[in-house]
Chains A and B, each alone.
Chain A
C-alpha cells in the first residue's frame, strides 16, 4: 500500500515537470517561428520603405510592391505560367535524367572495380571542371533551346550524383557483403538485397543535392540560350534594365525550389516510415 502511494505521488511529480517541459519547448518553437516571420516582414518592410522614402533608387533596387505589380503583369499577359512551366519542366527533366544516369554509372562502377580504378582520375577531373565552360560545345553539339538547357542541367548534376552514390555503395560494411557471399549470393543479389536498401538514406540525400544542382544547371542553360523560362527573364530583365523583372524571377525561383525541396522531404519521410 505504502509502495503504491509512493509510486502514484512520483508519477504526479514527473508529469508536472514533464508538462512544464513540454510547455517550455512549445514556447521555444513558437518564438523560432515568430522570429522567422518577423525577420521576413521586417526585411520586406524596410525594403519597401527605403523605396517609398527614396533612401534608395527603386529603379535599381526594386521593391516588394513593384515585384508584386510585375507578377500581376506577367500573370495578366499569360506569360507567367509559360515561364514557370518552361523552367520547371526543364529542371525536372534534368533532375530525373541525371539521377537515372548517375545511378546507372555508379552501379556499374561499383560492380566492376577495374573500371572504377581506370576511370577514377577522369571522374575527379570532370567533377572539378566548371561545366559552364562546356556551354559553346553544348550549343554546337545539341543545338540551342530546351535540349541545350537540359544537357547543361544533366552535366552539372550527373558527376556529383555518381560520386555521392558510389561513395555510399562503397561504405556498405564488408562484413555484410561477406555474410551474403557466404550464403551464396551473386554480385547482383548483393546489390539488390544489400547495397541499394542499405544506402537509401544516402540516395535521398543525393536527391536533395541534385535538385539544387538541377536548378543551377537549368538557369545556366537558360542564360546560354532560351526564349522563355525564369533564366530567360533574368537575362532579359538585366539587358533592358528591368530590375523588377529580375527580382520577380528570383522570388519565383525561391518559391519553386522551396516547394520541390518540400516534396523531396515528404518523399524522404514516407521512405523512412516504410523502413
Chain B
C-alpha cells in the first residue's frame, strides 16, 4: 500500500473582524490507498474544515496537504467531494446530473459514457436516466450523487455526513450501498460523521478529534473481517466493543 494522502501539521485559524478562532490545531495523519477512514468528534470540532482543506477549497493557515506526495495548491479532480445533502440539480435529469462533472472538465480524466452506463446499471438506476431527481427516493438520490462524484474518477472521496439527511431505515441501506460501491470501485474514502455506529460499520480506521480547536485525540484501528458489509458488521460481536470504545473516547 502507498500513501495517498498526507496531512502534515495542519493548523487553521478563522479570521473575522471581531475575533480570531483557532479551528484546527496541529493535525497530522496519513491515508493509505484503498483505506476507509472516518473522522468523528463533537460538533464544531472542525471535521468539515479538514475535508474542505483536503479538497483544496480552502488552504490551511500553516502545514501541508499532500496527495501522492504533491502539495495541494488548487482544486483537483483527484478528490471528489460529497456533501451532506445530495444537491442534485432539479432541472436536470439523472443522467444530466451525473454528467455535470465531465461537462465542466470537458471530459478530461473522466469516466467515459460506457463506464458511467455500467455504474448506472450496477447501482440500480437503469431506467431512471431520464427521470428528474424529485421522482427518486432518498436512497436513489444519494446513489446518483455518488455516481456524479465518481464520474470524475477521483482517487479520494470525501464524504461529509452524506447520510445524515436520510431517515434511519434508508440510511442503513444507503450506507450499505455506498460502502459497496466505494469498495468495488477501489476508492479511498474519508467520511465525516457524528454517528458513532456509522463510523464503526464503515471504516478501517477512525480518527477522533477533540473539541475546538480540533486536535487528534486518538486513532482507533478496526479489525473486522474484510468481507463484511456494514449491515453484517452491525451484527458482528466486535461491533459493541468498538462502539463502546468510541463512545468513551467522545465523552
Contacts and interface: CB of A to CB of B under 8 A. Distances in A.
B189 to A, nearest CB: 15
Interface residues of A, number: 18
A213 B1 CA distance: 67
Contacts of A183: 77, 100-101, 104-105, 152
Contact of B91 (A173, A181, A189, A200): A200
B157 to A, nearest CB: 11
A112 interface: no
B81 interface: yes
Contact of B85 (A175, A184, A189, A194): A175
Q: Is the interface of B mostly helix, strand, loop or mixed?
A: loop
B228 interface: no
B89 interface: yes
Given A175-B83, A175-B85, A180 B100 contact: yes
A106 B19 CA distance: 33
Interface string A164-183: 00000000010110111111
B76 interface: yes
B55 A173 contact: no
Q: For chain B, which range describes its interface: under 10, 10 to 19, 20 to 34, or 35 or more residues?
A: 20 to 34
Contact of A184 (B89, B90, B105): B105
Interface in A167-223: 173, 175-176, 178-185, 189, 193-194, 197-198, 200
Given A175-B83, A184-B105, A198-B89, 8 more contacts: A173-B87, A175-B85, A179-B83, A180-B104, A182-B75, A184-B75, A184-B77, A189-B104
Interface of B: 55-57, 75-77, 79-81, 83-85, 87, 89-92, 100-101, 103-105, 152
20 contacts: A173-B87, A175-B85, A175-B87, A176-B87, A176-B89, A178-B81, A179-B81, A179-B87, A180-B100, A180-B104, A182-B57, A182-B79, A183-B105, A184-B75, A184-B105, A193-B104, A197-B89, A198-B91, A200-B91, A275-B91
Q: When A and B form their complex, which 9 residue pairs have the shortest distance between CB atoms, in order from nearest? A: A182-B81, A183-B101, A185-B104, A197-B91, A275-B91, A176-B87, A179-B87, A182-B55, A183-B104
